[in-house]
């Protein structure tokens, strides 16, 4: 039970960090005109995070089907039953802003 709470807390912290990083990247790129916005940057970042995770999930499902891989339908992590492809998609979507920031810093230093 203790480890489940810690894992859930880590997931919440990672989601918060990913949303914050996406807001920062969106502001830095100035994608939208501020006068026309009606939604908050946090809601845009959350929607973007969910959309990216969904796209990654669909790609993983198609890859699994195409390659005829045998992946368990559910895995147990600390008494939580999870879909392994959905978990992988969320982890990739959460880590994507980190890779974008590192890539930008690497390119700007060259």
Q: How many other CB atoms are found less than 10 A from the CB of residue 37?
A: 10
Q: What is the pLDDT of residues 13-22, one digit of tens each?
A: 888 888 888 7
For the entire predicted model, the pTM comes to 0.63
Q: What is the pLDDT of residues 78-94, one digit of tens each?
A: 888 999 999 999 999 99
Is there a contact between 4 and 79 (Cβ–Cβ < 8 Å)?
yes
Helix ranges, 30-74 (H): 41-67
Count Cβ atoms within 10 A of the Cβ of residue 86 and give its class: 0-12 exposed, 13-18 middle, 19 or more buried: middle
């Amino acid at each position: 039970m203790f480890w489940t709470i810690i894992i859930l807390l880590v997931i919440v912290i990672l989601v918060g960090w990913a949303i914050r990083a996406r807001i920062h990247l969106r502001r830095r790129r100035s994608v939208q005109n501020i006068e026309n916005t009606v939604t908050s940057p946090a809601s845009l970042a959350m929607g973007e995070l969910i959309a990216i995770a969904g796209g990654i999930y669909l790609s993983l499902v198609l890859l699994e089907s195409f390659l005829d891989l045998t992946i368990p339908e559910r895995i147990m992590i600390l008494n939580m039953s999870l879909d392994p492809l959905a978990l992988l998609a969320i982890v990739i979507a959460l880590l994507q802003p980190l890779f974008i920031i590192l890539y930008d810093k690497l390119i700007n230093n060259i």
